[in-house]
Structure 1
């Protein structure tokens, strides 16, 4: 073997086991590129010739095993031919390792995802550490593609069709313990036992575990694959429209057609990925991936020393925040809105979050009381969604202490938190602490200048009110909401209004209208006056029973759907441009991130500003 590689370190131990350590130069994580694959191919060929007793592939990076392909080079795949060549190269390297005539093992500590897991599946055994940072999965569908290094074949052969498809179609990452439970890894051990267990497993070379015989038969017979595919396709369509996200459907199609023939499946997998890579959906989803990473990089959870979070306001949002913080291992205390009552937890809390009703005066009085009782270095945060932070902080001795921490709703579904600051009076060191706290909560922080409605609420309200205005003009509510969902929005504007509460919508609309050109439709006032507040009262734009919309007669409308979608989203687009002019957020990319991660704007469209259909 050559004395050195650029990205690999080789060593043979006393048992004649070859240890191959991957440490990609110039990267924080191990990422697969053509150069890295070339070196892996060379090692596999030389190892075949030299016949060690076994081979263990591990990582020299603290972040994990392999974090998939290098998405920074995704733009290089500007033709299907380039993508096909890369996928074929990855398949070839994986097959070389799969064909080695001696035991092989992947030692997994940290992330093992995408192409990294596909390579691990090509080895005979996999041993993973049980530390929380160890996560395994095939998340390619979230990038608009599917496994392309043979993972669609080997995952089914290892797990059986149902477990494999669940892993691939969801794109979710699982823990090492979960991976052990489904048969994805052979052992899940403490980090300090990882090397010894890996070596012991390799030398013992236990019999390869395969899925039950009946699952293997299902994979062989075409009629069985077609029936299973029909069921999986139906389930998938309930939440992932094929017109918007074609990759999971392409994966199902290639398995239904070629699942019984490994060689044909490999070829079809590479061709399918090559076609998907150049699609607008994949290009946009990769852009969204980098937007997400940009937000993550804004705060370092390791810099957060907070242990005790005190929440004032025990309503829906306050309770949700408390539950979320508790799940992240923080000590949490909660009190009702009683600004004049001393609570011992206020004096000991590291972070105090206000989550009371949207009333400026009430929030002002509360924070005056909190400032007197809180520790000097405690973070004072408001979950307001519409009131400028400087207005709430106007009565404080140190107004720069107060920052906004708006959890986008629903909190358990939306990863974004808006961190609002007064551009004329804020402490940058405090802002950094809040960014770190947000990352400690596994949220995506977005710093922005304080203004009425901040960013997400300010952008959503014109969309919501335009939907109400169109309904006021005679277009059925169901038609309006369906048009929005067909565009890709998670909720139509009228569904969203009913969910928020029409009284809340009216209050926010009035608040924003005082400092903008926003026009609140009369229909909204009439419904609130009549007590029709939406889901919480049982009736709004729809009627509800136990929180579910009651089915009504099928609505009919003969208008132009594309024009309706354009009308719905035009006010949102205009408001987005105005926010950029006012520098509410740093740039258009962060504005897009706010809409995608905080408002449910369809990720496959990428940008409210750039999409030609808006």
Structure 2
């Protein structure tokens, strides 16, 4: 009988059982998720040397790698070390060391099996791919992928080549270039995972079987590998560049284009591609884009720590079934809440339910899940859901008197502890709460259009509110998968306050005869996701005019802007505004030729940056950092620049 052996390090525990099977568990200390820090990798080196020795003496027949965290397998490399690692004198050697370690794992004479649940991302997936066989839990929590491109880099631990070996070049490059996370079934379909199990507690049993049967993953079939062979690789690379260029400019986001270059050079030889990572990865890690994207990542993670602890939400009542109210209701239902949606009659509510069904079909796919979501979204013209709701959100037109009237009739119906919120986009809460018995109860939860795409919710704090009320509001935003930024009640709050001078400045230029297509193209060349005129159409010209008026900006009666609003041409939602809209897309002509597009874009964006500085100085947000992440999430302001305050600081805006 073989004696059991045990080893504990800060990040890993290892023991062998009576069968000679090794159990390796990662459990990063003082962290909700596992990460591969430099210390963890050094400890793993020592453990792998032990595996090699035990395998040589036949005391070890195989190893199963598992996670000790409920959150998942491994969320990637330790991003907090990235700034120190971007030093060119440190990074190449650290990468070479990790490459060598992962190759030793792959070269082990005994099977090593990864058991995956929850997050398996970035470096975690690269480690799993170095194992001989991969088993994953087939549930909604499992997410597998390479998000590195969102941090301005690409996989650097051999994952580029190993993913191509397993999934083939088209699928592997697709997930690396987009950073999208796969569900377990999709990862199995791509051959990144070999076996699916229903529950996490089945990983140990299946891992044991995989070791005893000496299972080994097979590589992608020739029918997939052929796309990296000969002239086909150049064709595929060209197509990838075309697709990448539709989403990002190489001067703004160099990582995807550097990855395509690496593929074009080495894509037919997975080992050469893995080795080539180091030369391509090192310059990316230290550039300004990656530095700013890391900052944006940490700022967005910081938002998740704001919510009140222990707050629970099951029922939501939304008043107003227009575009915003209906879409807020549908989003809450998508995220598992029971939602009642109120408006004057069913004729107003029905279109919102239909839009909700489209969202559910797009996001959930399976009929059973779509039907379940529709059951959670209930029409409620009489407002019966108010007394049962944990959260009541008013989302009617931006009219002070109408909002006051609605809240005046609600206050006595609320259950204790329920959140009372308005989705106002510009009106100070103190004015809305004026007639309430308890004005401290009203907070702002300002969502952005389109609700399903924009992650930000401004949690508006009035002079009446307590920390507890604001904490509950932030917790609710987090509960429905949104990112809360707390802002002071002031006209326009943060996002609309900074957006309006930017959009209205562009509108004034159109009124003077400048090309709207040129202005939009210039803003995109600067780094905005869409131009200011297209954005005004997307927001809605009626909403834009209302917010502009609320903020003290004039919309002259004889202007084209005023005429469009008067004619019911409100932008995307009505099918025509400054542009005509077909199937949700603005119909644009070609912009006039101009050599200094990005410079024009910087000129257009200047009012937004100037106003952000003013808002920070006035204390509308607590810090420049919060202003940056709020404006990025609420307006799409170029993440690669780090936000308007960081861009100004670096002389980029």
- Say yes or no: TM over 0.5: yes
User: Which one of the candidate residues 389, 397, 403 is aligned to 2:429?
Assistant: 389
- Which ranges in structure 1 are unaligned for 5 or more consecutive residues? none
User: Shift of residue 193 of structure 1?
Assistant: 1.6
User: Shift of residue 181 of structure 1?
Assistant: 3.1
Q: 1:66 maps to which residue?
A: 74
User: Which one of the candidate residues 200, 206, 209 is aligned to 1:197?
Assistant: 206
Verify: 1:10 aligned to 2:10, yes or no.
no
Contact 2:523 2:598 in 1 (8 A): no
User: Shift of residue 507 of structure 1?
Assistant: 1.2
User: Shift of residue 491 of structure 1?
Assistant: 1.4
User: Shift of residue 558 of structure 1?
Assistant: 5.3
User: Shift of residue 547 of structure 1?
Assistant: 4.4
Verify: 1:501 aligned to 2:509, yes or no.
no
User: Shift of residue 293 of structure 1?
Assistant: 0.2
Paired residues, what number? 605
Q: What secondary structure sits across from 2:619 in the alignment?
A: coil
Q: 2:580 maps to which residue?
A: 543
Q: What secondary structure sits across from 1:506 in the alignment?
A: helix
Q: What secondary structure sits across from 1:356 in the alignment?
A: coil
User: Shift of residue 57 of structure 1?
Assistant: 1.4
Q: 1:427 maps to which residue?
A: 466
Q: 2:367 maps to which residue?
A: none
Q: 2:354 maps to which residue?
A: none
Q: What secondary structure sits across from 1:353 in the alignment?
A: strand
Q: What secondary structure sits across from 1:97 in the alignment?
A: helix
Verify: 1:46 aligned to 2:53, yes or no.
no
Q: 1:210 maps to which residue?
A: 219
Q: What secondary structure sits across from 2:249 in the alignment?
A: coil
Contact 1:108 1:129 in 2 (8 A): yes
Q: 1:158 maps to which residue?
A: 166
Distance in 1 (CA, whole Å) between partners of 2:208 and 2:594 is 69
Q: 1:483 maps to which residue?
A: 522
Q: Runs in 1 of length 4+ with deviation above 6 angstroms?
A: none
Distance in 2 (CA, whole Å) between partners of 1:419 and 1:337 is 27
Verify: 1:346 aligned to 2:386, yes or no.
yes
User: Which one of the candidate residues 613, 621, 631 is aligned to 1:595?
Assistant: 631
User: Shift of residue 80 of structure 1?
Assistant: 2.7
Q: What secondary structure sits across from 1:386 in the alignment?
A: coil
Distance in 1 (CA, whole Å) between partners of 2:74 and 2:280 is 23
Q: 1:319 maps to which residue?
A: 326
Distance in 2 (CA, whole Å) between partners of 1:212 and 1:530 is 59
Verify: 1:293 aligned to 2:301, yes or no.
yes
Change (3 A) 1:352 1:397: same
Distance in 2 (CA, whole Å) between partners of 1:127 and 1:291 is 33
Verify: 1:449 aligned to 2:488, yes or no.
yes
Verify: 1:440 aligned to 2:479, yes or no.
yes
User: Shift of residue 361 of structure 1?
Assistant: 0.4
273-282 or 23-32, larger mean C-alpha shift: 23-32
526-535 or 406-415, larger mean C-alpha shift: 526-535
Distance in 2 (CA, whole Å) between partners of 1:297 and 1:207 is 42
370-379 or 393-402, larger mean C-alpha shift: 370-379
Q: What secondary structure sits across from 2:34 in the alignment?
A: coil
Q: What secondary structure sits across from 2:521 in the alignment?
A: helix
Contact 1:83 1:273 in 2 (8 A): no
Q: 1:358 maps to which residue?
A: 398
Q: 1:609 maps to which residue?
A: 645
User: Shift of residue 534 of structure 1?
Assistant: 2.8
Distance in 2 (CA, whole Å) between partners of 1:3 and 1:56 is 15
Q: 1:88 maps to which residue?
A: 96
User: Which one of the candidate residues 30, 37, 48 is aligned to 1:33?
Assistant: 37
Contact 1:81 1:274 in 2 (8 A): no
User: Shift of residue 260 of structure 1?
Assistant: 2.4
Contact 1:476 1:557 in 2 (8 A): no
Distance in 2 (CA, whole Å) between partners of 1:192 and 1:544 is 51
Contact 2:161 2:271 in 1 (8 A): no
> What TM-score do the two structures reach when normalised by structure 2?
0.89
75-84 or 578-587, larger mean C-alpha shift: 75-84
Q: 2:358 maps to which residue?
A: none
User: Shift of residue 318 of structure 1?
Assistant: 1.4
195-204 or 327-336, larger mean C-alpha shift: 195-204
Give the superposed CA RMSD: 2.1
Q: What secondary structure sits across from 1:609 in the alignment?
A: helix
189-198 or 538-547, larger mean C-alpha shift: 538-547
Q: 1:309 maps to which residue?
A: 316
User: Which one of the candidate residues 326, 334, 342 is aligned to 1:335?
Assistant: 342
Contact 1:144 1:277 in 2 (8 A): yes
144-153 or 162-171, larger mean C-alpha shift: 162-171
User: Shift of residue 243 of structure 1?
Assistant: 2.2
Distance in 2 (CA, whole Å) between partners of 1:337 and 1:304 is 31
> What TM-score do the two structures reach when normalised by structure 1?
0.94
Change (3 A) 1:559 1:486: closer
User: Which one of the candidate residues 133, 142, 152 is aligned to 1:144?
Assistant: 152
Distance in 2 (CA, whole Å) between partners of 1:603 and 1:568 is 17
Q: 1:281 maps to which residue?
A: 289
